[in-house]
Amino acid sequence: MGMSASQARLLSITSRLTNNEFRSQTITNSKLRLAEKSQEASAEYMDALNSQQLVFGVYSDNGEYTTQKLTPALIYDYAPLKNQYALVNPAGKMLVSAVDARNFENSNTLSEFLDNYGLLENVEYTQKVEKPNPNYQEELDKYNEDKPKYDAYVQYLKDKEQYDKDYKAWQERNPNYDQELEIYKNWVATMGDKNMYNEFSSIVGTSDSAIGDSSGTKYCYSKALNGDSGCYKHILNLVINSNGTGCAPMGVTTTTGESIMVNAGGGGTENSMDASQKDVMGMISNAMPYCKCDEDDDLGTSGKQNSLQEVLDAGTASDENIKLIQLKSDYKLVVDNDGTPILDANGKYQTELKTLYEKAVDLYYLIDNGLVTDPVEMKELLINFTDGDMKNVSVQAPEAPPVEPTPVAFTECPIKPSNIIIEYVNNSETTVNDKDKAQWYTNLWYMMNGSDTVNKVQQKEIFDDEKNESYSVFVVESAEKSGKGGTYEVFEDMSLFKSDDWLEFALEHGMVTMVQAQYTNPSADSGKVPELTSEGITWKSIIYTNASDIRSQEDEVAIAIAEVKYKNAIREIENKDKKFDQDLKKLDTEHTALQTEYDSIKEVISKNVDRSFKAFS
């Protein structure tokens, strides 16, 4: 009996339900494996977060502090503000780069080693050298010949300079020298050493001898002294405008500014003079403008008297009274070119002496205009002029000008020769162009040369004799290879030389140790270092964890990589988990539908079986 369609369908559904359960179980197992992968990714990320790396701190030229991964290359790379370290293997040999090793091997001296790094340069300067002068005697003879000539020329310049000063001062003192010299020459030619007053008085008389004289040349002066002052105009004519032969009309001006005409003819006195006396009177007339009054307005009192200054200082006289006193006085007001009186710093009028010529004109004006009416006063004025002003002056030879020195030909200053001549020889000094960098590689060279002590790069003063300048430079000491071998080994593997992972591992496991170049002062530090000539550098062992420039910090790069890897893994796990959930959901839906159909078919088959049993029972 064959299987019914319901039974066949039921078997098919049963098979599919079994398959769905198997697939669901497989997906559930995959979800469990995803959870394990998520834990693995989290653990790997946490390991990265906890990872550390060694870094080296470096200051830049502007003082900025940065850190870099610690590698052998970084340790041996020079920087201006960087502490110097070196790596040492368990055998005590310094590990160096292939470049440093090649430079050391190709150098016999420290200077050659530094030159490989471009640290040396030559400074050119001159040095003074003294040698005997082969031409000394010849040059000395020439010097002895030229020196007196030069001294004479120098003395001439000094004399000429003094002469110029003296001549200028003389000109200021003698503005009328030519006229005064001419007067003096004429006076000497005519009068010799005769006195003006004596000659004048011999013609017109003195105040004593003229009185009572009724004839001759003394007549006019005698009449004037006896009260007829008008007769004195005849005498004043002679001293104002006599030309040696007689008198002519002449317009003149008083010191107070009044213009008058001096009458022609000298009157009785002139008529009584012979030719010789007229010549003398002419000379006196010519000399009058250059002879000053005697500074005394009153012969009857002791001491000098300036009656004009007295009335000016009193400040009570009228302008007319001041004018009258000036006409009588030996003094006149100091005025400018316009005739305006000049005041001193205190606002007072100033006075100055008249010449005999000015005194004669003013006296003529007084007599001619009858301004002095008192015979006694007029007699005093006449006596003061004749026996005072004229008696107390005489024609003197003017001050002679200074004598100009005789010119001396120019002679160049001779240079006294030396029995030593100086030559400047070119010289050069090998110097360091970067002191700190040179110290760095000097330290390295000594360590490779088998010495852990190093002298500091020395400063030296160089003096250029020709330029007279001093230079401060740094020089390298003379040092040669010691001949010791096996003091260093080379990083042949450049990957290790630039590897931070290897160096960190090597330091942590004691595969290499570190030494540091430290400052040493033998005179102050304990433990003297006899190799050092002065303060210097000593290579000392140091634990890398105690090095101030080396520290441990999070490996940011490793953390960043792990973070990206973790996020990608989680994202992939989450995407797969979502897909597994979706697949499970589909299987569950299908399972529910199949189970429903299974139950329905199973019920139909059960009913069919019941009916069949009932039909055959």
Is residue 65 classed as helix, strand or coil in its secondary structure? strand
Q: What is the pLDDT of residues 433-474, one digit of tens each?
A: 998 899 999 999 898 888 888 888 888 888 888 888 888 898
Same domain? For 189 and 246 the reply is: yes
- Share above pLDDT 90 across residues of the chain, in percent, rounded to a whole number: 24
Same domain? For 575 and 504 the reply is: no
Q: Is residue 206 part of a domain?
A: yes
DSSP state of 139: H
Lowest mean pLDDT among 5-19, 276-290, 432-446: 5-19
Q: Which of 554, 573, 590 is the last residue of a domain?
A: 554
Between 408 and 484, the more confident residue is 408
77 contacts 89 by C-beta, under 8 angstroms = no
pLDDT higher than 90, residue 327: yes
Query: What is the pTM (predicted TM-score) of this model?
Result: 0.43
User: What's the confidence (pLDDT) of residue 41?
Assistant: 63
pLDDT higher than 60, residue 47: no
CA pair distance 365, 259, nearest whole angstrom: 9
Q: Can you tell me the mean pLDDT for 166-171?
A: 94
User: What's the confidence (pLDDT) of residue 180?
Assistant: 80
Q: What is the mean pLDDT of the chain?
A: 82
Q: How confident is the model at residue 214 (pLDDT cuts 50, 70, 90)?
A: low
Is residue 568 classed as helix, strand or coil in its secondary structure? helix
Q: What is the pLDDT of residues 95-141, one digit of tens each?
A: 999 899 999 999 989 999 999 999 999 988 898 888 998 998 998 99
Same domain? For 533 and 550 the reply is: yes
CA pair distance 129, 564, nearest whole angstrom: 78
User: What's the confidence (pLDDT) of residue 17?
Assistant: 74
Q: How confident is the model at residue 85 (pLDDT cuts 50, 70, 90)?
A: very high
Q: Is residue 153 part of a domain?
A: no
CA pair distance 321, 343, nearest whole angstrom: 19
User: What's the confidence (pLDDT) of residue 190?
Assistant: 65
Handedness of CA 178, 184, 190, 192 (dihedral sign): negative
Based on the structure, what is the number of domains in the chain?
Answer: 3
User: What's the confidence (pLDDT) of residue 406?
Assistant: 94
Strand pairing class (536-542; 453-455) = antiparallel
pLDDT higher than 60, residue 50: no
Between 227 and 526, the more confident residue is 227
Q: Can you tell me the mean pLDDT for 572-596?
A: 76
User: What's the confidence (pLDDT) of residue 533?
Assistant: 58
pLDDT higher than 50, residue 527: no
User: What's the confidence (pLDDT) of residue 530?
Assistant: 47
Same domain? For 117 and 247 the reply is: no
216 contacts 272 by C-beta, under 8 angstroms = yes
Q: Is residue 400 part of a domain?
A: no
Q: Is residue 133 part of a domain?
A: no
pLDDT higher than 70, residue 182: yes
Same domain? For 435 and 527 the reply is: yes
Q: Which of 554, 582, 604 is the last residue of a domain?
A: 554
User: What's the confidence (pLDDT) of residue 566?
Assistant: 62
User: What's the confidence (pLDDT) of residue 308?
Assistant: 93
CA pair distance 211, 228, nearest whole angstrom: 12
Same domain? For 116 and 193 the reply is: no
Q: Is residue 270 part of a domain?
A: yes
Q: Which of 8-17, 291-300, 411-420 has the highest mean pLDDT?
A: 411-420
Q: Is residue 147 part of a domain?
A: no
User: What's the confidence (pLDDT) of residue 251?
Assistant: 87
User: What's the confidence (pLDDT) of residue 586?
Assistant: 79
Q: How far is CA 234 from the centre of its chain?
A: 82
User: What's the confidence (pLDDT) of residue 62?
Assistant: 72
Q: Can you tell me the mean pLDDT for 593-616?
A: 74
pLDDT higher than 80, residue 53: no
Q: Can you tell me the mean pLDDT for 17-44?
A: 73
Same domain? For 548 and 569 the reply is: no
Q: Which of 554, 573, 593 is the last residue of a domain?
A: 554
Between 540 and 39, the more confident residue is 540
User: Domain range holding 76?
Assistant: 52-128+420-554
Between 3 and 581, the more confident residue is 581
pLDDT higher than 50, residue 331: yes
Q: How confident is the model at residue 526 (pLDDT cuts 50, 70, 90)?
A: very low
Q: Is residue 121 part of a domain?
A: yes
472 contacts 461 by C-beta, under 8 angstroms = yes
Q: Can you tell me the mean pLDDT for 407-419?
A: 91
Lowest mean pLDDT among 2-6, 294-298, 414-418, 496-500: 2-6
Strand pairing class (488-490; 94-96) = parallel
pLDDT higher than 90, residue 155: yes
User: What's the confidence (pLDDT) of residue 562?
Assistant: 59
Same domain? For 587 and 509 the reply is: no
Q: Can you tell me the mean pLDDT for 287-303?
A: 83
Same domain? For 268 and 250 the reply is: yes
Same domain? For 522 and 468 the reply is: yes
User: What's the confidence (pLDDT) of residue 315?
Assistant: 86
Same domain? For 248 and 315 the reply is: yes
Look at residues 397, 400, 360 and name the one whose alpha carbon lies nearest to residue 381.
Answer: 360
Q: Is residue 28 part of a domain?
A: yes
Within 13 Å and on the Cβ side, how many CA atoms surround 50? 6
Lowest mean pLDDT among 28-37, 117-126, 483-492, 559-568: 559-568
Same domain? For 370 and 479 the reply is: no
pLDDT higher than 90, residue 43: no
User: What's the confidence (pLDDT) of residue 404?
Assistant: 94
Q: Can you tell me the mean pLDDT for 592-613?
A: 75
